[in-house]
A and B are shown apart, each in its own frame.
Chain A
């Protein structure tokens, strides 16, 4: 394989590996911008993946799978909202708890229903989101440079991939150009001021966690029935935390979130590619370095060495109305 083909193949897997991160990080973005920390992204993703795989297997419809994924993820969001908004519980603890519940429940139910060690049965092709060939992809294939990129990287992805990239400008527009977005950002900085303006902090925050649940539903569904064709135990494999890292890396802004996710996806793709290969002059790079790199970078960023990462001011603090 010449180096251009390698580049194309790495870019292709970068896109595929970034999509769940983009959805999940945007989910975290809405929640944290409204002042609700969400460690439970991982759990919502996992639960959505399981529900999507089960439903797609039973109905044979990918769209029904998506609906189930969204539904369960929204339900988890409501629990998180109930604990951290209505009951003013500790948001971190609630998120950790939901991660546990999702990790355990998916395997227990999967085993009880399908008896395949926590996996779900393979979903048929109708139950998956198939690749979409964009117009002209085949015709362009022979154009030098641009052709292969268009045909193999931009075209040939499934619909959820395109939705993810649409969700980025849409999130930007919602956050910065709508009244809801303005208020959502305000409630994460100074809920008291929002309350004084006569706007319900509770209702705003609930809507924010629901948006987060909605987006996590997409990422879970993508994992189960777009990237693969079944649910596998613990298939989110820490992606929720990587998304959290990407969110911090992007300093809680939508467009940088996309680039951070692409970067982390690229590292992942590179790690897969580099496995067992030697770099000229350096030797074999341990694959664990690539795996740890997003977390290390995030820590360095958090320490303020590459610019300050300031989270929303009211993040993690339950709002108590003055009596």
Chain B
């Protein structure tokens, strides 16, 4: 019997194997640090110190993590239905438009908690709309969703630059961005949450969107594992033909799944747009859509795993920023390398170590 078909217990499949892959990714990253003449161990310590040492660092870490929870959930929901959504980046970008419109329209008149539901709705609607066309193309015309979502990332970027440069720009200013939202369009910070643990948030933009992200994790969990729709999505993800025989409409599931996925990606915009900079800026997504792919892969497409993976990437982002202060040789782009390696080992080379583990398991555990 080949090693590929040997069943392994859950703790190996869902904990040990990802951990090994993650370790490999970090080992190779350490190798890169060593090649450019720095001490990897020291770099790791500086990174953890910067990300988790003080209240401010934690605030930044959780701020980044919030972005990644949204995009991670977005990728995961699509993945459960067998769709690989590479378009979270573009969906989040366009989602920012919906969030910003709500804030621009309401911030003069109402406090933030009235604006927030509209901003959430706007972000989700615009994000979903950006996923709708690729979804329809996949469902109705058989165009590969990976290709169309990539194309839509670029189209979305072009659209947003156009809008910011020609429509939303504040007259007399050079920067392509909207006006700064008033207090009614800003999400309050969660300094009390950090203060509960005895830290001080300082200037870190950790805000209410984090709580929305956690709520969405629960919502996604319920949706995927506790509803009929989720069951149908997972069925289609496992076997399209089985879903067809069970009378599950392919078109319907693809479109609904992508709308949900795009909506989640769009909601990511709340955090940077309403929570941090209080204005819509060019390229505010900053690759979070792609990080979502890594987060979803590492978190095994489960909300709980996604939270853990998102925080890990938050640590990387915040720690990496601090690291580049202390070790000027290591730029922030080191994060991108680590991210790529995590995607490579946890995703593409997912089963590289499996045969070895199976052999070890058969020798040591089963005897």
Contacts and interface: CB of A to CB of B under 8 A. Distances in A.
Contacts of A8: none
Contacts of B144: 302, 311
Contact of B152 (A79, A93, A98, A299): A299
Contacts of B334: 104, 108
Interface in B323-367: 329-331, 333-341, 343-344, 347-352
Interface stretch (B7-15, B109-117, B155-163, B216-224): B155-163
Interface string A65-104: 0000000000000010011100111111110111111111
Contacts of A99: 340
Interface in B131-159: 133, 137, 141-144, 146-148, 150-152, 154-155, 158-159
Interface in B54-97: 84, 86
A100 B290 contact: yes
B293 interface: yes
Nearest to B340: A100
A39 B166 CA distance: 32
A304 B143 CA distance: 8
A93 B343 contact: yes
Contact of A286 (B86, B166, B329, B337): B166
A108 B340 contact: no
A288 B158 contact: yes
A96 B150 CA distance: 11
B297 interface: yes
Interface size class for chain A?
35 or more
A129 interface: no
Interface in B293-324: 293, 297
Given A94-B348, A104-B334, A296 B155 contact: yes
A288 B161 contact: yes
A93 B141 contact: no
Contacts of A91: 348
- A interface SS class: helix
B348 A83 contact: yes
A299 B343 contact: no
A298 interface: yes
Contacts of A50: none
B154 A238 contact: yes
A241 interface: yes
A56 interface: no
Interface string A271-309: 000000000000000101101100110110011100000
B344 A83 contact: yes
Contact of A97 (B154, B166, B347): B347
A254 interface: no
Contact of B329 (A92, A112, A238, A291): A112
A87 B2 contact: no
A179 interface: no
A97 B143 contact: no
Given A98-B340, A108-B330, A108-B333, A302 B347 contact: no
A244 B36 contact: no
A133 interface: no
Given A89-B350, A302-B148, A96 B293 contact: yes
Contacts of A323: 2
B349 A89 contact: yes
Given A103-B333, A104-B333, A302-B137, A93 B348 contact: yes
Please indicate which of the listed interface residues A79, A97, A105 has the most CB atoms of chain B within 10 Å of its own CB: A97
Contacts of B32: 105, 108
A177 B331 CA distance: 49
B37 interface: yes
Contacts of B329: 111-112
Nearest to A286: B162
Contacts of B343: 93, 96-97, 100
Given A101-B336, A238-B154, A295-B154, 14 more contacts: A93-B297, A96-B347, A97-B341, A101-B337, A101-B341, A102-B340, A103-B340, A104-B340, A105-B337, A112-B37, A288-B159, A299-B151, A299-B155, A304-B141
Interface of A: 37, 39, 79, 82-84, 87-94, 96-105, 107-109, 111-113, 118, 238, 241, 244-245, 248, 286, 288-289, 291-292, 295-296, 298-299, 302-304, 311, 323
